[in-house]
Structure 1
Amino acid sequence: MKLGTISTLSLALLAAGTAQAQDTRLLIGSTSASSSQYGYFVALGQLINDTVPEVSASVAETGATMDNLRRMQRGQVDLGLVTTNIIQHAWNGTQEFDGAPQEAPLLWVYSPAPQNVVVREDVGIDSLADLAGQRFNPGIRGSATEATAESVFATLGIAPDWVRGSTTDVVDMIKDNRVGGYVKSGAGSRLDASSLDISTFTPIEVISLTDEQVAMIEAEMPDISVVEITEAGEGIAPYKTWSFALAVSATPEMDEEIAYQITKAAMQDETVQRNALAALAEYDLTELTMQYGTVPLHPGAARYFEEQGVEIPERMRPAQ
């Protein structure tokens, strides 16, 4: 065989081997880096890289649910943080997605997310009604927290002076007394890391819904729940607030086998995710998923749960 032929053959084999060795690259949409939830998605990326063959995942800091769904639709992220209420709106083309439905099939639900109305103790806010006309942040821009808080306050007929910004910016504004407070998802039943950060600089309190407000929310907003929190943190009195659940969704285009392997890795993991978000030790992710899921599962995720003998609710079965 001639030298030129050997060289050409060697290059061809090298190229083929390189192509086979290339991993499928996935980008995970998360939330603000100052949020407790960001650490969860960093851990999820690590778990995928360590356990799912031929897949390489990295994490992008984003504006959370609404931002992640927009990025999924544009093909900029492959999976990411969503909330069970907003993903339901997207799937059905209602509220924020009126006339523009978007499918982002569910992989799993990983945590309930009480929405905490956190204020500086010294601003004299004793009820949600006191926030009317006050400078207040409804949640990180583009997040489910923001969209849901705006809907809740509108339902209750309360109109704060909304201040927008990232979690980092808003935390600084609260510390400097430029903003009275914000709405922030809890880390399970505990306060989020950013709320604890604020409390190291100034005393805080969490405002409770009144019984009348609870009744209004339950009547007008069936896509969210009202929960009572008794142990949010040291010095925080028990309170009632609205809640949804945090979940991981993917694009419809995600390969079924990859979705299967990622779901399997997350459901079978007992350390990585819990080390990132201690509240997960309280939950069984499979049970949470079947309890709180509001849209169909990705076919790969559904296959995993079916193999485990899990009964998938009708509302969550993938379209055939």
Structure 2
Amino acid sequence: MTKKFNGGARQLAAFMIGAGLSIASPFAATAETLSLGSTNATSSHYQIAVAMSKAIEAGSPDTTVTVVETGASVDNVKRLARGEINLGLVAGDVFIQALTGTGQFEGKAIDDLVALYPYSDSVVNVAVRADSGITELAGLEGKNFTPGIRGSGGELLISQAFELFGIEPNYIYGTVTDSKEGVQNGQLVGYSKYAAANRVDAALQELMISTDMRILGFTPEQQALVKENLAGVSFVTVPAGFIKGNPEFTTPSVPIVYATRTSLMDNATAEKVASAIGEHKDILVETWPQLKDYDFKSSILETQDIGIAIHPGALAYWSK
């Protein structure tokens, strides 16, 4: 029986070769599709996610990457926990809470959560209408305010921080578009959202065309409370003139990584993804010019200092 099977296989192979057809080796690389969880499509972070998908495909021609619009960090972690995506955007503080089973993930630790690559240190812009009269965070008490995209790291950070400060706005949830429209028509006094590096997010840039805005800062006491209670959060001081007429302010800053789970991605695939991002940085820079001088290697290795775990496969690449 075995000899007959082998003989038939040889005949089939000879036929296919004669017909000019190729035979896939059982050891050849197989095509792979990866789903990449990003954020709301109106965010500039979604634009760079699309560029990432192109970079990964450029570095691995046998891989197809599908970008999935999500609610960002918290939503992505939950999707990773359910195995619905292969990798996704996660803010550093959300990552640590998920890995350690604290905060939003109390008793629900995802102990195999690991980072593949970083791409930004993002600041939180707490923006309010200039005509609202609000000049400090405490002024948001009882006011209609959107703390960020539902399910995002920004929403979680602001909600947790305001709880520490004893500030209770009237939270109104919605998309970035909902927030912009709410501010424009006066239904909201403002909203908060992550912005890449020390920049004004694309949504806020668009909003400022029609509405004068002010960005609020965190006091030294508020900064101390956040640092004491929320791991992975640091602060940056942004100089006056960040937006027209805005004074200097200090605001939270967190590293942003793309993460997966070791149970979802093997070492070879993780190294392939990390390598594709590192070797095809030019594709990312076309979308975000500010990444031209961004050091992916040192940034990902430094995240270990605040408790972010790196996938062994990715670490093999970034440690070279």
- Shorter-chain TM range is 0.7 to 0.9
Q: 1:258 aligns with which of 258, 269, 272?
A: 269
**2:71: which partner in 1?**
63
What CA distance in whole angstroms lies between the structure 1 residues aligned with 2:175 and 2:72?
Answer: 11
The answer to whether structure 1 residue 303 and structure 2 residue 316 are counterparts is yes
Residues 114 and 44 of structure 1, relative CA distance in 2, 3 Å threshold: same
The answer to whether structure 1 residue 241 and structure 2 residue 251 are counterparts is yes
**2:289: which partner in 1?**
278
Shift of 1:120: 1.1
Residues 114 and 165 of structure 1, relative CA distance in 2, 3 Å threshold: same
**2:32: which partner in 1?**
24
Q: 2:102 aligns with which of 94, 115, 123?
A: 94
> TM-score, length-normalised on structure 1?
0.88
Q: 2:165 aligns with which of 156, 161, 169?
A: 156
Shift of 1:22: 5.4
Alignment-mate amino acid for residue 74 of structure 1:
R
What does residue range 103-122 of structure 1 map to in structure 2 within 5 Å? 103-122=112-131
Residues 64 and 23 of structure 1, relative CA distance in 2, 3 Å threshold: same
**1:33: which partner in 2?**
41
Partner of 2:67, secondary structure, is: strand
How many pairs does the alignment contain?
304
What CA distance in whole angstroms lies between the structure 1 residues aligned with 2:215 and 2:40?
Answer: 21
**2:300: which partner in 1?**
289
Shift of 1:273: 1.1
Q: Is the 8 A contact 1:187 1:277 kept in 2?
A: no
Shift of 1:105: 0.8
Residues 291 and 87 of structure 1, relative CA distance in 2, 3 Å threshold: same
What CA distance in whole angstroms lies between the structure 1 residues aligned with 2:208 and 2:81?
Answer: 38
Shift of 1:276: 1.6
Which runs of at least 4 in structure 1 moved beyond 4 Å after TM superposition?
Answer: 13-22
5+ residue gaps, structure 2, are: 1-6
Shift of 1:110: 1.4
Alignment-mate amino acid for residue 305 of structure 1:
W
Partner of 1:114, secondary structure, is: strand
Shift of 1:86: 0.7
What CA distance in whole angstroms lies between the structure 2 residues aligned with 1:76 and 1:221?
Answer: 27
What CA distance in whole angstroms lies between the structure 2 residues aligned with 1:282 and 1:179?
Answer: 37
What CA distance in whole angstroms lies between the structure 2 residues aligned with 1:50 and 1:220?
Answer: 41
Partner of 1:271, secondary structure, is: helix
Partner of 2:256, secondary structure, is: strand
Q: Is the 8 A contact 1:120 1:204 kept in 2?
A: yes
The answer to whether structure 1 residue 174 and structure 2 residue 183 are counterparts is yes
Shift of 1:278: 2.5
5+ residue gaps, structure 1, are: 309-320
What CA distance in whole angstroms lies between the structure 2 residues aligned with 1:277 and 1:205?
Answer: 25
**1:136: which partner in 2?**
145
What does residue range 168-207 of structure 1 map to in structure 2 within 5 Å? 168-207=177-216
Residues 203 and 108 of structure 1, relative CA distance in 2, 3 Å threshold: same
The answer to whether structure 1 residue 85 and structure 2 residue 98 are counterparts is no
> TM-score, length-normalised on structure 2?
0.88
Q: Which moved more, 1:137-146 or 1:256-265?
A: 256-265
Encode CA deviations 1:59-115: one digit per residue, 9 max, x unaligned. 011000111111111111100100111111111111111111113211122111111
Partner of 1:186, secondary structure, is: strand
